[in-house]
Every structure is written in structure tokens, then in C-alpha cells.
Structure 1
Amino acid sequence: MTTLRNTIFGRSKHSPNLFLGGVANLYPTKALLASKLNTPINNIYNFSITGSDISCCIVAVCTPSGFTDITALTYFEDRSGLIRYFLGNGYYPFRGCTNLKYVIMQGILKFGPSAFGNCINLEYIIAPKLDSIDSEATNDGITIFQSCNKITQLDFPLLTKFYSNYALSGLTGLTYFNIPKCTTLGKTTGNNSFFLNIKIGLVVNCNVALQTCNSGAADGDLQYVITSRGATINYMP
């Protein structure tokens, strides 16, 4: 009977929904992973290690501490949607993870300053519910995507606020930036060096509100990226 309660049509109802690459040596037990995720151990099922990778099923909302400077981390994938924030407002969740290749977070709502700073091998981020990025550079000047030059696309379809200076500055690989709901770009409506020295020819999809938010003119960062970096701006209703 217990087996039947824990299965749905022959499949476990606790199928893995959280995957971490490269860190099995750091979190070799369910208890250690639960501590990192800041959740009771009984919220984790089917904890498994394959090589250096971890998989498990989380069944309740949790707010992990970050993985700052954990260079062993190669990927982080949360399919559950139950991780919505990191401790400390998400300030440094992946900063300095130099071998991190991708992040998939189906439920994350906010990232903070330097969240991906110096993730030099990061190729893509999937965060379909991300609502806000509050990412002023930290005291040492590390910005949210600093040195993330392998990223070619950033697609945040529900993002409404990107409050940051120098947020995408120097990203030489970025070709596509999709923020159709975003009405706040930078700390002011002027030029906040948001796109400073970004790759020439960037395509930006942004909310139509940014077309006139600067005393009737376009947001200052958009003006810069158009005139200085040859960007194409598509204003979305």
C-alpha cells in the first residue's frame, strides 16, 4: 500500500526536480544538501548521486543560501519552481562559479547584485518567472553579469524592473535581450551605462513605456545603445 501511495500510474510522485552538477563531494548526503537549501530534510526525496552530480525531489518552497565561489558547480536546474528567492535577496547566488555552464530556475522571482558576476563559462539562464533584478554593483565593482561573455541571449519575459547601472556593460557575446514587460531600466531614465561597450548590433525587445519615459524621449540607456552600439529596439505593448 505504501508503494501505491507513493506512485502515480506506476511512476513515482517524487521524481527528481532539482539537479546540481559537479558538487556531490560538497554535499554528499541529503542532510548536507538540505542545510544548503535551507529546508528540512524531510522536504527532500530521492536524493541520488551520479558521478559528481546530484539529483533529488524537493516538495516545499525553500530559500537556499548562495553558491558563491563554488567553482565545482557546473549547472543548477530547478524544475520544481519552488525556489523563488535566495537568502539575502539573491545578492550573490552564483557569483564566482567559474565552471557554471547554465542555470534553469522555473520559479525564481528575483536576482540581486553580482548574482552571476565572473561566471566566465556561463552560456545561458532560463528564468521565465523572474520579476525583478536589483543589481547595483557591489562594493568591489562586480556587476550582475560581469565577464559572462559566453551568454548570447537573455530572455526574461516577465521582468518588470531591472534596477542597475552597468548591468550589461562589456558583454561582448550578447546579441538578443528580451524584456517586453520591463518598465524600469537602470536607476534613472537617463544613461546609466547599462549597455556600456556592449556587442554592436544587439537586438532589444522592451516595453513601449521606455520609448517616452525620459521626459517624452526614450530611456537614456536605449538612446546610447542605438546611437553608439547600432542596436535595434523593438518596443512591445
Structure 2
Amino acid sequence: MTDILSASSLTKVYGEGPLAVRALNDVSLAFPRGRFAAILGPSGAGKSAFLHIAGGLDAPTSGSVTVADLKLPFADEEALARIRSEHIGFVFPGENLLPHQTARQNIELPMRLRGEKLDEGWYSSVVRTMGVAGAMDELPARLPRAMQQRVAVARAILGRPAIILADDPAHSLDARASLEIVELLRLCVREFGQTVLMSTQDLAEAALAERVILFSDGGVAGEISDPTPVSILTALEALSLRSGPG
């Protein structure tokens, strides 16, 4: 199976000297095309740092990232912006839609930026599958938070990116709405053949993925294939025991 994203020996250090913080420590991971993977770990574990570097939003201190067979040119912002626009879809936590544009305008944004004409059949399929047809003419502020995130997922997938990077996409939603958003991401994989990499602190959300990578202290602490809540909890308990006293 072809890897759509691979990271080699990623290290990220913020600051210098005694105040330096090592957010990532020699992380190497690969993600096959058409799969749903989750990175699970507590706040400060390095999940967001990894996703931001994997998506070309931040540069590593050392290491490299390849997306869709293209090595990210971290020193060339223009080339990096082009790769982000053409190959990577983003879903962020919180309110990340343009506030003065309607849901329709927000969803169409990637295609407008690329100067490409909409594929009306694909567009209709995305809007219908994401359940946002009734919200298209509303401004984000008039939509519930869960609907805003549905719009954000629709925007991320419309341009048919190589991969969607979802950084804690259900943050601040209630439990039911959170799982609905993660189910939508899983639907993107199952129905559209999309590749999704999601970070989360929530065990139930992670269990909806096909693969869970456990992060701790800026590194990979373990991995679970075909996860269930029980298998994830067992792995987390084993890590806790392993890192405990004695």
C-alpha cells in the first residue's frame, strides 16, 4: 500500500538554552493512502506539533516530510503554500471559518484559491454527505459549533487533497457532536477513499480510527491496529505502569 505521507526523524525544539522545549523527538511515521489514523495523547505530547509540521504549517528543527511523493520544501514558502493548497486539507479545532463569508463561500475557498472550476457533481456529493445543505447561505456565527465543523470538513475535502489533517477537530463539542464529527471523517475515508490523520485526546474518538498512534513527551510511545476502546485503554494502562516508579 502506497504511503501518502511519511515523516523521517522529525525533531522540533522551541527556544534555546535552558528554556528550550523539545516538542518532537526523532519521530518517524508513515501513513498509507486511504486509511484513517489517529494520534492519541495528552496535551503537550507533541500531537499538534507533528500535524503542523506534516502539513507544512511549521518547519522542523531537523528531519523531513514527504506528502504525495513531494518532499516539503520548508525553506521555500511559496512552493510550500502551493503544496498545502493542492495536496493537504486542514480541519482545525475551534472556529476556523472565515466569519464574513457564508458556509458556501467557505467550502468553495480552496477551489477559488487554486483558480479551478467546481465539479458540480462532486460538490453536491460533498455537501450532501457532510449534511450541510441547509446551512449554505448562513454566516458561521449563525451556525451551531457542530455545523461549523461539518462545514470545515466539507471545505477540507472539496479539493480532493492527498490527505486531511484534523487537529483535535471535535474540541469543545459535547460528546455526541464530537463523535459525529469523527464519524464524518471516517465517512470521508470509507465513501470517498480519502486519507485522514487526526489528533485527539479522547479515547472514544481515537477508537473510530483504523490505527492509533500513542504520543507521549514528543515521541511515539506505542501503536494499535484495529483499535477498540478496551485495547486503547489497555495500552495506555501498560504505558502508565511502564513509566511509573519502580
TM-score calculated relative to the size of structure 1: 0.30
Structure with the higher helix share, 1 or 2:
2
Higher RCO (C-alpha under 8 Å, 6+ residues apart): 2
TM-score, normalising length from structure 2? 0.29
